[in-house]
Amino acid sequence: MMVMFCAKCGRKEEVLIENLCERCFWENKEIKIPREIGITICPSCFSYLRGKRWVKGRDLETTVIEGCINEIIKLSKVQRDLKIADIKGKIEEYSNEFPIRVELRIELSFGEFSKILESRGIIHYQRCNRCIEASHGKYDAIVQIRGFDEEALSTVNSIIEEFKIMNGRPEISEIKKVANGMDVKFMSVNRARLFTKKISERVKVEIKESAKISGMRGGSIHYTTTISIRRSPIEIGRLICIGDGIFRILKTHGGRIIAENLESGEIKELDYKDIEKSLIIEESSMKEVLLKSFKEGKVELLDVKRGQCFEVPVNSVQKGLKVGEFGILIAFKDREYIIRKIL
């Protein structure tokens, strides 16, 4: 093995880098890596402050380590021919389950040679602007939920849980309960719309959206959006009984309900007050029948499910129903009605 001497300190070495021993080589390079850096994390949403901007984080530990690594890269300077090959961070100390100190190991490399430097990250906690605004009840949209029963409200509550914190950020700034409903304030209109959509997928509702100017913010006009969600009192296709008449709901439109009287075929416009007074005909009081024949004021029917035939007076059958057609028999208030099968 050839023995060489360091050009700077004269130490005897087997390997020299650029004619220097390893120690002199690294001492000779310009390496500025801060011994300590500080980062700021929001304790509520775990965002961290990067320059002047709050950057969304993931879980707290990951954000803390990523934040420290980004900060050390930003503040470090090494001579051009060197490379920062790797930075590892490990949480060294916690206070009330919040990391406060991170140990950082920075690996510098020059070709096949490398050197480890140590640094430390100090974590400061400060609430971000968004979390401060959310805690002050700031909102861009309010969703007003009305006419919901207990069951529908518990569905809403489970959806609220998904929206409280989304991607680590608060989306709801206030929840207020009112009779048969609630008001939910959202930090953004888009989230409020998404929330509304999720409710409408699980509860039949009517939705109205409006926006009004609420003032100036940051030099421009600021709008507040109100989304009103009302429970539809009636479903399309539903059968109801008002007085003596049996109606099928055909459509609802802007507070009006269009229904067909199944005996006369008359189309009638109802309002929600009529619906409140109506009786809903449940599926348990209906059965599928096949019209077999008309004779002597009677109609012979086949109960499709049970395979039995029976007769009813001809005036029980909806006009226009013919032999060979399927119908629905409704047993209601001691009467029987046979109507065309609901598709």
Site for Zn ion, rule CB under 5 A: 6, 8-9, 11, 21, 24, 42, 44-45, 128, 131
Measured from the CB atom, is 15 or 331 closer to Zn ion?
A: 15
Of the chain, the end-to-end C-alpha distance in Å amounts to 94
Quote the least distance from Cβ 127 to Zn ion, whole Å. Answer: 6
- Angstrom CA distances, 303 to 289, 291, 296, 300, 327, stand at 5, 9, 20, 10, 10
CA dihedral 171, 174, 177, 183 (to 10 degrees): -60
- Angstrom CA distances, 250 to 157, 235, 286, stand at 31, 9, 19
Quote the least distance from Cβ 56 to Zn ion, whole Å. Answer: 9
Measured from the CB atom, is 24 or 275 closer to Zn ion?
A: 24
Measured from the CB atom, is 63 or 196 closer to Zn ion?
A: 63
Measured from the CB atom, is 45 or 299 closer to Zn ion?
A: 45
> Distance (Å, rounded) from C-alpha 272 to C-alpha 242?
12
Quote the least distance from Cβ 52 to Zn ion, whole Å. Answer: 15
Q: Residue 102: which of 53, 39, 47 has the closest Cα?
A: 39
Q: Please name the amino acid found at residue 292.
A: K
DSSP character for 81? Answer: T
Quote the least distance from Cβ 111 to Zn ion, whole Å. Answer: 18
Residues 46, 58: contact at Cβ < 8 Å? yes
Measured from the CB atom, is 9 or 122 closer to Zn ion?
A: 9
Quote the least distance from Cβ 26 to Zn ion, whole Å. Answer: 10
Tokens for 105?
A: 């190991």
